[in-house]
Amino acid sequence: MAIRVGFQKSGITPEDHRHYASTAIPPAAALTSTSGLTTAGGALVSTGAMTATISAFRATIQGTSNSLQSAYPFVNDATAAITITDGHATLPRQDLVVAQVRDNPYDSSGQQDGRIYVVAGTAAASPVAPPVPTSAIPLWEVRVNAGANAGNGGVVWGSALTDRRTYTGWSRIDTGAWTSYTPTWTASGGGASLGNGTLAGRWMRVGRLITVRTTLVLGSTTSAGSGYWSFSVPVVGATTTAGQAGLGSALATDAGVGVHHGVAMVGSAEAVVIAFSNAEDTPWGPASGPITWGNGDSCTLMVSYEGAT
């Protein structure tokens, strides 16, 4: 069949129905859909030395026995029991728990059903999980140590599992909200004192991307200290080979005179942000400017960087 139109006439086939339903599923290619769980679920919970259950879930499973097979909705509406076979006498094994659709017109299985079962891996010194079968999705890998059986403790469930579940749904990253914090302001040579000045910070995160803004406004009793300045950030920067976790912009405002632009930086594994003028290697502060800091002057730094956590 070249053209399929849904909800139009009688006589449509199960294959037609799957193609119609698949128009609402995230695609993998022109006529295939993305396989995976469509909801949370599918947790593996041990129930014995060699047994476990898989919790309820819904999934989409793309048929892979035929190019026109399309995708199947798969529902596990209760817990499904699985059993791990005894381990090899001397070598470990990596098993794979899968959810599979069998459809005899396409795969010659003689069955038309769905199942959750364990595909036993090959015992080896460095075992790997077996390939995912046709028309199936992986759920969990299970490490089966040499000699494992119900009589000697069985599978070490606490360390044996690798989560192989994937999801088909669209996701939204919650960026959270801007949060206020008070940075710690430090002069490398000491002597920094806020006095009647103001110091404020705001920050937010998206995953491990941290964005920070700090602003220092010097007052008439503020002491700038000596050396160069640094301002604490709420999340330590990631350790990187480049030497910095992230870069941003810096603005020094000389009250009544003008502004100076620079670069803000959070260094690799550092918990502070500092500022540099272009083509300079000394951070901003009383020792290096870029202005003679005094009453009414301000220093604003804004930087996005990779957080260590």
Say whether pLDDT at 121 is over 90.
Answer: yes
Q: What is the pLDDT of residue 15?
A: 72
pLDDT score for 66: 87
Q: Tokens for 277?
A: 């003028």
- Residue-wise pLDDT for 261-307, tens only, equals 989 999 988 999 988 886 667 888 887 788 899 999 999 999 999 99
pLDDT band at 170 (very low <50, low <70, confident <90, very high): low
pLDDT in tens, 184-196: 999 999 999 999 9
* Tens digits of residue pLDDT in 65-87: 988 888 899 999 999 999 999 99
Q: What is the pLDDT of residue 17?
A: 67
The domain locations on the chain are: 14-163, 179-306
CA 194 to each of CA 177, 187, 218: distance values in angstroms, whole numbers, following the listed order: 28, 11, 7
Instruction: Report the pLDDT averaged over residues 31-36.
Output: 84
Model confidence at 175, in pLDDT bands (50, 70, 90)? low
Element (H, E) at 19: helix 14-22
Of 121, 164, 165, nearest in space to 143 by CA: 121
Average pLDDT, the chain: 88
Q: Is 81 exposed, middle or buried (0-12, 13-18, 19+ CB in 10 A)?
A: exposed
Residue 11 pLDDT exceeds 80:
no
Render pLDDT for 49-60 as a digit per residue (tens, 0 to 9): 999 999 999 999
Which pLDDT belongs to residue 21?
Answer: 72
How confident is the model at residue 5, as a pLDDT?
A: 57
Confidence tier at 110 by pLDDT (50, 70, 90): very high
| Confidence (pLDDT) at 97 | 98
What six digits make up the tokens of 24?
Answer: 């609402």
For 189-207, give the secondary structure using H, E and C.
CCCEECCCCEEEEEEEEEC
| Residue-wise pLDDT tens digits, 144-167 | 999 999 999 899 998 999 999 998
Mean pLDDT on 113-120: 96
Tell me: pLDDT of 205 over 80.
yes
Give 7 or 112, the one with higher predicted confidence: 112
185 contacts 272 by C-beta, under 8 angstroms: no
pTM of the model: 0.56
- Which pLDDT score, from 0 to 100, does residue 23 have? 65
**Whether 239 contacts 268, CB under 8 Å:** yes
Strands 198-206 and 209-217: antiparallel
How confident is the model over 206-227, as a mean pLDDT?
93
pLDDT, residue 3, reads 65
pLDDT at residue 20 tops 70: no
